[in-house]
Structure 1
Amino acid sequence: HPYTPAYYDLFKDRRKSAKKVLELGVLEGRSLMMWREFFPNAHIYGIDVNEDCIRIFEDDDRVTVFEYDQTSPRDMIELIDKIGSDIDIVVDDGSHIPPHQIYACLTLMKLIDKGVIYVVEDVKAPRPRKGYLGIKFFLRGYDVNEPNLEPIRKKYGIGRHRGDDRLIVVKHREKGYG
């Protein structure tokens, strides 16, 4: 998917300063390895519902993986209690199920410090006629932007291969806005 070049643009200014990066959804851990390399001064945290993911990084001093469910309030609170609320970047590559994405974002944004960049991958397009208003509707209390990935797709020859090949960037609103 075309996210990697977009991530460079999004995160290049925080590359050296980021101290904590959290990814929801680990699978085989490839993106955690990418984050570890891209953010040389950050500790990389991951969560997944599959406990086997923990073993991949058990000997890595810069990557920690927990068995948590992004849809569980108890798990999200416990996670933030363990790692702290001073997270620089969150990437949701978890279940890809819109209600899970919405819930995780709303829950974590209340628990983590302002200044975080929260990215949701694999966002489905709104379908108002079918009753789905889209993730942006539910996150309207935050600044929500959708980077235009078309130039990246064209430059790197990456086609749209799924209906959810979109990402959104969520930030806390500045004071006095909205």
Structure 2
Amino acid sequence: MTKETTISLTDLANAAGSDKGTTHANPHHYTRVYDLLLQPHRHSLTRMMEIGLMAGGPEVGGDADRVVRTAPSVDMWLKFFPNAELTGFDISDFSWISDPRFTFVRGDSGVEADLERAAAQGPFDLIIDDGSHASFHQQLAFKVLFPKLRPGGLYIIEDLQWQSPFYEDDLPATHKTSDVIDNWFKTGAFPEFSPPELEGLQSLGRDIAFATVINQPFSGDTVVPKMAVIHKHLEPAQTA
């Protein structure tokens, strides 16, 4: 039996030019956490999904119909998980990516029907939300996609410290996502949600085994909420 050489996700991110790594112009250093969480699952993970494939879209005032010819995280994930199929979801067009293990679904995180089309690609072992960063979008995506996460799977939401000024005030008002996860950490339950579109979201808190917000100065000196890590129960919650 040959000993497998560890592949660093940070090295892959840096080589691909992803801001999840440590050498990008605006590095988030998330791969330091991902290496810790995901190394044991490199070969067993078979299906994952990522929302948001490249910065510069409508969340920062860009055009949804922009022409994009790079997707660093897609390259990174496909190399890190050699046996996994990756579903990418974005409001811009990434259908040009040609890889037998990649499926693209174009859609808006604020449209439940679009999210349902992406959910149909599941079930997933890992879901990462790096989309618009608008609280309502993150929570609607969680409502639709978390049920499609396999038992024991991970759901991760990035960049909790920032909400898009081009979305946040125009969408249905809701809690900041970092506060939602923090409420679960402290009480074991989600708070109530006002928007009717989020009906049913509160009950999903029962299917969480563990959830926390990582508050770290990943870059710079300011400690802010950066990412949520949510671990799904191995068995569905029992209902009365």
Give, in whole Å, the separation in 2 of the partners of 1:26 and 1:176: 31
Q: Structure 1 residues 176, 50: closer, same or farther in 2, change over 3 A?
A: closer
- Which amino acid letter does the alignment assign opposite residue 179 of structure 2? G
Deviations 1:62-115 (A, max 9, x none): 22221022222212222222x232x11111000011221122112211233322
C-alpha distance 160-108 of structure 1, shift in aligned 2 (>3 A): farther
Unaligned runs of 5+ in 2: 1-27, 55-69, 163-174, 191-204
CA-atom RMSD in angstroms: 2.7
| Runs (4+) off by over 3 Å | 147-150, 160-164, 173-178
1:118 and 2:155 are equivalent in the alignment:
yes
Q: Secondary structure at the match of 2:151?
A: coil
Q: Which of 119, 144, 147 in structure 2 is aligned with 1:80? A: 119
Asked whether 1:169 is paired with 2:211, we answer no
TM-score (normalizing by structure 2): 0.59
Aligned length: 161
Matched, 1:144 2:211: yes
Residue 36 of structure 1 is matched in structure 2 by: 78
Report % sequence identity. Answer: 27
In the TM superposition, what are the counterparts of 1:3-152 in structure 2 within 5 Å? 3-27=30-54, 28-51=70-93, 53-55=94-96, 57=97, 59-81=98-120, 83-85=121-123, 87-124=124-161, 132=176, 134-136=179-181, 137=183, 140=190, 141=205, 142=208, 143-147=210-214, 149-150=216-217
- Higher relative CO (Cα under 8 Å, sequence separation at least 6) belongs to 1
Name the residue aligned to 1:128.
Answer: none
Task: Say which one has the larger Rg.
Answer: 2
Contact persistence 2:53–2:89 (CA under 8 A): yes
Return the TM-score normalized by structure 1.
0.77
